[in-house]
């Protein structure tokens, strides 16, 4: 699977909540072009969280395609994710998109890629991008014995990734579903 440089996206599921966050750095090569980009958003009236690593234009196309699949399969995010992954893998134009998509609702989290991956993590933690492995390791270390909730775990883990990865900054956007 391709690793994209210039972003970090992390989702964490804990105690009936799911949080998804991303940093704000946009890099072209080894140059920081922007520091306050938003790479995460809500879909379906705030019922689904989505984030991307990779090309912005390609990610926007994927958001649109995923929303189309959600319209065709209302209330069934796993089916919509499978259908998008199938189209992405088999469509000659979609296959050229250079992005990874992470989507989450209260029940499921998925990573989708153009090479055919559709991954739902066993532990409720999923990360992509250049700082993804750092954020993933931090979240796995923090989650089990921590009093931190899902959103706090995402914030702390992305902060740790920002201290290590030069393609990740500490301007974070974190969205959350669940709870009161």
Residues marked as catalytic: 7
Judged on CB neighbours under 10 Å (0-12, 13-18, 19+), 15 is exposed
Give the span between the Cα atoms of 122 and 159, in whole angstroms: 23
Backbone angles phi, psi at 39, to 5 degrees: -115, 5
Contacts of 51 (CB under 8 A, 6+ apart): 9, 11, 20, 21, 22, 39, 40, 41, 101, 102, 128
């Amino acid at each position: 699977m391709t690793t994209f440089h210039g972003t970090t996206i992390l989702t964490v599921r804990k105690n009936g909540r799911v949080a998804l966050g991303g940093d704000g750095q946009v890099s072209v090569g080894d140059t920081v072009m922007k520091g306050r980009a938003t790479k995460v958003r809500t879909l379906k009236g705030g019922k689904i969280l989505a984030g991307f690593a990779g090309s912005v234009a390609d990610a926007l196309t994927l958001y649109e395609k995923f929303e189309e699949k959600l319209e065709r399969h209302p209330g069934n995010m796993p089916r919509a994710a499978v259908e998008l992954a199938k189209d992405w893998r088999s469509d000659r134009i979609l296959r050229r998109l250079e992005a990874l998509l992470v989507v989450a609702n209260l029940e499921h989290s998925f990573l989708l890629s153009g090479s055919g991956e559709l991954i739902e993590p066993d532990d409720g933690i999923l990360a992509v991008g250049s700082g993804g492995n750092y954020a993933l390791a931090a979240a796995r270390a923090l989650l089990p014995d921590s009093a931190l909730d899902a959103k706090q775990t995402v914030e702390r883990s992305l902060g740790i990734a920002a201290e290590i990865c030069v393609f990740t900054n500490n301007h974070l956007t974190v969205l959350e579903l669940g709870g009161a």
